[in-house]
Structure 1
Amino acid sequence: MARPIWTGTLSFGLLNVPVSLMSGERKVDLSFRMLDSRDRKPIRYERVNAETGEEVPWKDVVKAFEYDKGSYVVIEEQDIKSAAPESHETVEVETFVDAGMIPPQFFEKPYVLVPAKKAEKGYVLLRETLKATKQVGIARVVIRTREYLAAVMPQDDALLLMLLRYPQELVDPADYKLPEGKPSTYRITAKEMDMAKQLIGSMSGKWVPDDYHDEFRARLEAVIKKKMKSKGALAKAEDNEPEAAEDTATNVVDFMSLLQKSIASNKRTPAKKGAAKKTARKTAKKKAPVKKAPVKKKTATAAGKSAKRRTG
């Protein structure tokens, strides 16, 4: 059973609800080890002095901040502790805001708040009140040694704690060169807008998260299993990346034509489970323009038989 990150209280106004903070995500990345290709032994990374080349033991390692090139100020553990927030056991809600007021780029990481025994009433009271008012609580919480900004929000039977990024951690989109102005500035006609809306309508569906899977990870797992069975023999992943269509959208493409083709293809997103990739490939094969008639590829067996006939 999963263990809590910490236990403490969820505080809003004068109300305190004992809770446990549980992880709301699951790591599924495949991790790799670095090996020496000569004997397949793991490589060990060492702490080495940049000047002498000698290994530095952990007891002699200190943290420092480089304030100028080659100039450092050493930071002791007590310095870090003195700057750390005092409260480590409270999710303290400071204000409530409309749920739609927080831009998506602020959300960083999910946690689940689980009520302690006999603390269900306060938990449910906050959850249902947030649902009724369509608001979320903006709070501060200390996890390990860092203070985070967070949003407390309801989802079904749960209260989620969503860690938020601070404004200084985000890049302002205005820093980049983006197309400004009205659609007419880019010669987008009312008919093209209508066709685009029709396309979106034809592709609209319900959000079903289980319909989406990390297909790269699944293919990589298959390669790993294949290599395990062949005792390390070279196995090559199949290249299933579809070729780009010749009429890939750019600023000079006939948008009306593309929109009409998209609507005519009657594609819908998302597709049913396990069928999304196959449908996309079939559609790409049917719709992608080709200059020459496709030539059937001979299998290795067929090619071998043909060669025998010619030599015979």
Structure 2
Amino acid sequence: MAARSIASLTLSFGLVSIPVRLYSATESSSEIRFNMLTKNGERVKQQYISEKTRKVVERSEMVKGYEFEKDHFVLFTPEELKALEEGSSHVIEIVAFVPIKTIDPVFYDKAYLLAPDKRGGKPYALLAEAMRKSGRCALAKWAWKAKQHVVQVRPVEDGLILQQLLYAEEVRSLQDLDIEKVTVAPAELQLALQLIDQISQDTFDPTQFEDEEKQRVLAAIDEKIAGKQIVASAHSEDAATGQVIDLMDALKASLGSKAAASAARSAKPTDKSARSNITPMAEAKERKSARRAPARAPAPAPAPAPSRARAKK
């Protein structure tokens, strides 16, 4: 399905104007939502109640107000609030070019994709290539959806990304946390560097991560639909056990366990014990692939899925 643009805009710097189209860079992950019901399965709806009279207040009877002191408000009509809103602008006005690395990602907010519009291909490509060569990105002002934004326009391999940035007052600083300054021993640092090197990757591959909680909830929903009982699975304990472990010993143990894990991944599992670490989700995917594969010689019947075994208990 082809992407649909959100708006037609103009990227402006100096006397150069580039017609561009705006696209959302992300999409909803189809978050699983549950409805509020009575125990009889009937939907319920939310209502607003007056704190003073305890009566239901309809939306048509409500106004917005700002609390300037405890229980003291100034009221605004919809017309007054509308007059205060920032009008949307079709111009993204570049005000400066700065080194890309000078913007801390903690300031990143929502991201959009920018593509050239009609007659914008040449200046769009020129700006993108110039920023790549200079190692700089653009800082710009943009009014969108009744709010003034500071945005970053940065080059990537295939084009330009527009990134909304947070204002300084919206970002907290680590300096406010009064973190204790601790001296790190050279031997400890060396072991930590070895551990980092052992599990380092050259690139970030987002496809290697999956929302496991979402898959677990979807599986539970399927079981509910099928009329099965859901049995709580054991979760690993996140809290500390309280056992005091020497830092050097912990680093050495981590190095050893990572090396063992790497060796185990390189070896092909041949028996049940080697397959015991496979998650139910991975096992289900293997069963699904096996069903699609061509018929082969009969094999021993697979063990029951973990979820069914738990359900019988």
Report the TM range for the smaller structure's normalisation: 0.7 to 0.9
Structure 1 position 178, deviation (Å):
0.8
Q: 2: CA distance between counterparts of 1:237 and 1:19?
A: 51
1:261 maps onto 2:257 in alignment: no
Aligned to 2:287: none
Correspondence list, 1:169-180, <5 A: 169-180=170-181
Cα gap change, 1:132 to 1:32, in 2 (>3 Å): same
Distance 1:19 1:76 in 2: 36
What are the within-5 Å matches in structure 2 for residues 27-176 of structure 1? Answer: 27-28=28-29, 29-37=31-39, 39-86=40-87, 88-176=89-177
Asked if 1:217 is matched to 2:214, the reply is yes
1:238 aligns with 2:233: yes
The Cα shift of 1:132 comes to 0.9
1: CA distance, partners of 2:225 / 2:254 = 43
Indicate if the aligned counterparts of 2:87 and 2:146 stay in contact, CA closer than 8 A.
no
By how many angstroms is 1:234 displaced? Answer: 4.1
Cα distance in structure 2, aligned partners of 1:203 and 1:128 = 34
Seen in structure 2, the aligned counterparts of structure 1 residues 49 and 6 have a Cα distance that, compared at 3 Å, is: farther
Following superposition, the deviation at residue 24 of structure 1 comes to: 1.1
TM-fit CA distance, 1:84 = 3.1
Letter aligned with residue 34 of structure 2: F
**Cα distance in 2 for residues equivalent to 1:17 and 1:178:** 46
> Using the alignment, how far apart are the partners of 2:49 and 2:239 within structure 1?
48
Between the aligned residues of both structures, percent identity stands at 28
Shift of residue 153, structure 1, vs aligned partner: 0.7
Give me the whole-angstrom Cα distance separating, in 2, the residues matched to 1:156 and 1:5: 22
Question: Displacement of 1:48 after TM fit?
Answer: 3.0
Shift of 1:107: 0.8
The correspondence for 1:191, drawn from 183, 187, 191, is: 187
For residue 263 of structure 1, what is the amino acid of its counterpart? L
Q: Call closer, same or farther: CA 1:3–1:237 in 2, change over 3 Å.
A: farther
Q: Secondary structure at the match of 1:195?
A: helix
Q: Do 1:115 and 1:123's aligned partners in 2 also have CA atoms closer than 8 Å?
A: yes
Query: Partners in 1 of 2:164 and 2:256 — Cα distance?
Result: 43
| Paired residues of 1:223 and 1:236 also in contact (CA < 8 A) | no
Q: Is the 1:223–1:237 contact (alpha carbons within 8 Å) kept by the matching residues of 2?
A: no
Cα distance 1:70–1:246, how it changes in 2: closer, same or farther (>3 A)?
closer
Q: How many Å apart are 1:86 and its aligned residue?
A: 4.3
Return the TM-score normalized by structure 2: 0.76
Judged with a 3 Å threshold, the aligned counterparts in structure 2 of structure 1 residues 216 and 106 are, in CA distance, closer, same or farther, namely same
- Tell me how far apart the structure 2 counterparts of residues 211 and 56 of structure 1 sit (CA, whole Å): 49
Q: 1:129 to 1:120 in 2, by over 3 A?
A: same
Q: Distance in 2 between matches of 1:149 and 1:236?
A: 49
Aligned residue identity for 1:235: I
Contact 1:127 1:159 in 2 (8 A): yes
Q: Is the 8 A contact 1:23 1:110 kept in 2?
A: yes
Residues 10 and 17, structure 2, Cα contact 8 Å, conserved in 1: yes
Of 183, 201, 205, the residue aligned with 1:205 is 201
Moved more, 233-242 or 128-137: 233-242
In structure 2, C-alpha distance between the alignment counterparts of 1:55 and 1:88, rounded to whole Å: 40
Cα distance in 1, alignment partners of residues 77 and 4 from structure 2: 31
Counterpart of 1:34, as a letter, is M
Change (3 A) 1:63 1:242: closer
TM-score with structure 1 length normalisation?
A: 0.76
Structure 1 counterpart of 2:256, one-letter code = A
Conserved 8 A contact 2:223-2:229: no
Gaps of 5+ in 1: 273-278, 284-299, 305-312
Q: Is the 8 A contact 2:65 2:73 kept in 1?
A: yes
Q: Which runs of 4+ in 1 moved over 4 A?
A: 242-248
Distance in 1 between residues matched to 2:3 and 2:53, nearest whole Å: 45
Pairs aligned (count)? 267
CA 1:142–1:47 in structure 2 vs 1: closer, same or farther (change >3 Å)? same
Q: What is the SS of the residue equivalent to 1:30?
A: coil
